Amino acid sequence: MKPKLLIFAKSPRMGLAKTRLARGVGKVAAWRTKRRLDALTCRVARSNRWETLLAVAPQQDFAASFPGVWPANLRRVGQGQGDLGQRMARALIRFGRTPVCIIGSDLPDLKRADLVTAFRALTRADVVLGPATDGGYWLIGMAPRAARRAQLAPVRWSSPHTLADTLACLPPRWRVAFLRELEDVDDAASLKRSTQR
């Protein structure tokens, strides 16, 4: 069985995602940015080395068609209910019979080599994390022995404490590997920085 890579993505419907970004650049610009980043992530994340799945929220958009954004031939799964930690832990447990990684869909600097490095790290580590510049992380991955025990609570999501809180949730004997730091696009300032690189 191939390793699994899940792209956690909110529906690219206007006004549903990137609300912090929309406050700074407007709804239309945020919607366009979201669609562009989703399409980019879907392209970069696909490889014959692993199976890529699109984990969709909200559930009612599971089967929705977004031509040019979400490829029709990319397998989809629902994220289900709960906070981000509950949804990610459920996905890690469900798909963790092989090494499994979860990424967001708002990473303009993501390279396929980053994902290769993540899966390679899981041959030695229990957990791999890609730190984000805002104190969170852009990737979490677990080896099968860890994924079946995944628990991501309590974590202060979307805060400068997210990475530290997640590390505190892990059993002390688990080996953790770290990837390079990336910046996700959450607001007008991070969008501006991404266009200047």
- Of 10-19, 33-42, 75-84, least confident by mean pLDDT is 10-19
Residue 13 has a pLDDT of: 83
Instruction: Please check the confidence at residue 192 and state whether its pLDDT lies above 80.
Output: yes
Q: What are 192's two structure tokens?
A: 């501006």
Tell me how many degrees the CA angle 94-100-104 measures, rounded to the nearest 5: 100
Instruction: Report yes or no on whether pTM surpasses 0.75.
Output: yes
Where along the chain do its domains lie?
4-196
Please give the Cα distance from 19 to 96 (Å, whole number): 31
More confident residue, 14 or 98: 98
Please give the Cα distance from 180 to 12 (Å, whole number): 27
**Adjacent-strand bridge partners of 102:** 6, 140
Quote the percentage of the chain above a pLDDT of 90.
78
Does domain 4-196 sit in CATH 3.40.1190.20?
no
Parallel/antiparallel/unpaired status of strands 137-142 and 76-78: unpaired
Which amino acid appears at position 139 of this protein? L
Which amino acid appears at position 8 of this protein? F
More confident residue, 86 or 65: 86
Q: What is the 3-state secondary structure (H, E, C) of the chain?
A: CCCEEEEEEECCCCCCCCHHHHHHHCHHHHHHHHHHHHHHHHHHHCCCCCEEEEEEECHHHCCCCCCCCCCCCCCEEECCCCCHHHHHHHHHHHHCCCCEEEECCCCCCCCHHHHHHHHHHCCCCCEEEEEECCCCEEEEEECHHHHCCCCCCCCCCCCCCHHHHHHHHCCCCCCEEECCCECCCCCHHHHHHHHHC
Please give the Cα distance from 85 to 151 (Å, whole number): 8
Listing from the earlier edge strand, what are the strands of the sheet with 176-178?
76-78, 51-57, 4-10, 100-103, 137-142, 127-131, 176-178
